[in-house]
């Protein structure tokens, strides 16, 4: 029962990776004429946005994969690993902040619906991880009894 919230967080992270694989998340706008722009979307794992100085999608995708690996390790261990749980939470929050950076910096023209769903699923994963931390009484790297 104590690991149910962690499993839910892992499911939300897997949904996030599936959304990041879709070629509709990262948005680039190209100027076709003085008053016309062409909007193209790419996968979060694509290097094209990275080479056009849109670094946040790839960094978000990498952090998402790292948090999935950490979540699997947490679920496989019989004992509670508070430092790893806290590190996973921090990675999810950083991934969320990176995922909304294009919205904050550039605006809606560089943000897609899939990008919004990625941000929401990262928040859902973080929420389930907070529940897991509360159920297991994990505070600042220690288990409180």
Short-list 66, 69, 48, CA closest to 57: 48
What was the pLDDT predicted at 110?
A: 87
CA distances from 73 to 85, 99, 105 (A): 10, 24, 35
Domains in the chain (CATH in brackets) are 4-143 (1.20.140)
**Does this model's pTM top 0.85?**
yes
pLDDT tens readout for residues 46-90: 999 999 988 999 999 999 999 999 999 999 998 888 889 999 999
pLDDT band at 2 (very low <50, low <70, confident <90, very high): confident
Q: Mean of the per-residue pLDDT values for the chain?
A: 90
Report pLDDT digits (tens) over 89-133.
999 999 999 999 999 998 888 899 999 999 999 999 999 999 998
Q: Cβ distance 23 to 44 under 8 Å? A: no
């Amino acid at each position: 029962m104590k690991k149910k919230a962690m499993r839910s967080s892992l499911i939300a992270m897997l949904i996030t990776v599936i959304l990041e694989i879709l070629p509709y998340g990262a948005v680039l706008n190209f100027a076709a004429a003085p008053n016309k722009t062409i909007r193209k979307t790419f996968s979060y794992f694509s290097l094209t946005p990275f080479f056009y100085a849109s670094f946040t999608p790839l960094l978000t995708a990498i952090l998402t994969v790292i948090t999935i690996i950490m979540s699997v390790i947490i679920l496989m261990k019989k004992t509670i690993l508070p430092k790893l749980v806290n590190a996973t939470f921090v990675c999810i929050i950083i991934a969320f902040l990176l995922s909304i950076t294009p919205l904050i910096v550039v605006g809606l023209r560089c943000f897609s619906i899939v990008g919004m769903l990625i941000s929401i699923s990262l928040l859902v994963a973080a929420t389930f991880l907070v529940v897991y931390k509360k159920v297991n009484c994990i505070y600042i790297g220690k288990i409180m009894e």
